[in-house]
Copies of this chain bind each other. A is one copy, B any other.
Amino acid sequence: MIVILRSDATEANVQHIIERGAKIGLKANVSRGIEKTVIGFIGPEDALRSIPLEVFPGVEQVLQVLAPYKLVSREFNKQGTIIKLPYGVTVGGKHIAVMAGPCSVESYEGMLSIAKKAKALGANILRGGAFKPRTSPYDFQGLGEEGLKILQAVGKEVGIPTISEVMDTRQVELVAKYVDILQIGARNIQNFSLLKEVGACKKPVMLKRGMATFIKEWLMSAEYLLAHGNFEVMLCERGIRTFETATRNTLDINAVPVAKKLSHLPVVVDPSHGTGSWEYVAAGARAGIAAGCDALMIEIHDNPEEALSDGAQSLMPDKFEELMLSCKRVAQAVDRDL
């Protein structure tokens, strides 16, 4: 922790800060420049972080030196986490996983049809929403438990692990009973009650970055999961909200190498939400792989015109096939396979 003092700070101000650090066992190193004095504290920064040094008299700025996350940091697990799923599927190794399926589970027949096609084209995880976070209370809110049952049945029928979103602390147990991966959506990235509950659950989790979440905060939300006991966590970049309106979101491609550098957790890219338009999904998917992601999440639908949600960004099977073919080639170009 580094504390930069105002140019009019007094010696008493300096002593007051040094003493506050000393109370919790930190040693201070004081640099007296011509214009400013700087105090560096040596020792465990966590204790100091809870003290609002910004309000101490004479303080201009407080800078953290250590990353506030520990369990998710690359230092904690240099070789990187690999998550094992049913049917021999893994996320995090050389093989790039592909999660595909409709935005919402709509019916058994529809789900079965799209799941078979997805698997045939190379997808190895099946997505489908049963509890849907919808901006409007008047929009379709998902089939709930009925949707989870359909997803589970189709997953077993086709032989593919499944992923579905959990939105409520009270649903965690229920969703965990039916699916192989719990998804925490962008809107719940800082729903800390949910993070704690899912952290206490023994199921792999995919944590989507929020629309305005710093990468650092995304990692801190993942830290909640690990700190509560769940180490099978994937991070998912799904686009951030910026000033640009030509696309629904701005896929933050930089976040892929940054998250891979800072953390050992696998990184998923979701170009469907990241672009918001089926026309740009394949470009976003290829870019994600080229930038180093470990998995893709793609929305597909047999008949987007009749989709109950997110039709505009869903790919038909023929376009998904093209995407998979081009992504396989890009994966090989970066020494991965798919």
Contact = CB atoms under 8 A, between A and B. Distances in A.
> What is the predominant secondary structure among interface residues of chain A facing chain B?
mixed
A337 to B, nearest CB: 13
Contact of A280 (B69, B187, B258, B278): B258
Of A68, A141, A191, A256, which is in contact with the most chain B CB atoms at under 10 Å from its CB?
A: A191
Interface stretch (A106-114, A155-163, A301-309): A301-309
Contacts of A49: 136, 139
B304 A55 contact: yes
A52 B311 contact: yes
Interface of A: 2, 4, 7, 20, 29, 31-36, 38, 40, 42-43, 46, 49-52, 54-56, 63, 65-66, 68-69, 75, 133-141, 167-171, 187-196, 210-212, 214-217, 220, 223-224, 227-228, 240-247, 250-258, 261, 274-275, 277-280, 283-284, 286-292, 304-305, 307-308, 310-312, 314, 326, 329-330, 332-334
22 contacts: A4-B65, A38-B65, A49-B139, A52-B314, A55-B311, A68-B135, A133-B190, A133-B192, A134-B192, A137-B196, A137-B228, A168-B194, A169-B169, A212-B243, A214-B243, A247-B258, A253-B284, A254-B274, A257-B280, A284-B291, A286-B290, A333-B333
Given A36-B66, A241-B243, 15 more contacts: A32-B42, A35-B66, A54-B277, A54-B312, A170-B193, A188-B191, A240-B250, A242-B252, A253-B287, A257-B279, A283-B292, A286-B291, A286-B334, A289-B290, A290-B330
Q: Closest 9 CB pairs between A and B?
A: A52-B311, A212-B212, A168-B193, A54-B312, A286-B290, A290-B290, A187-B190, A329-B333, A287-B287
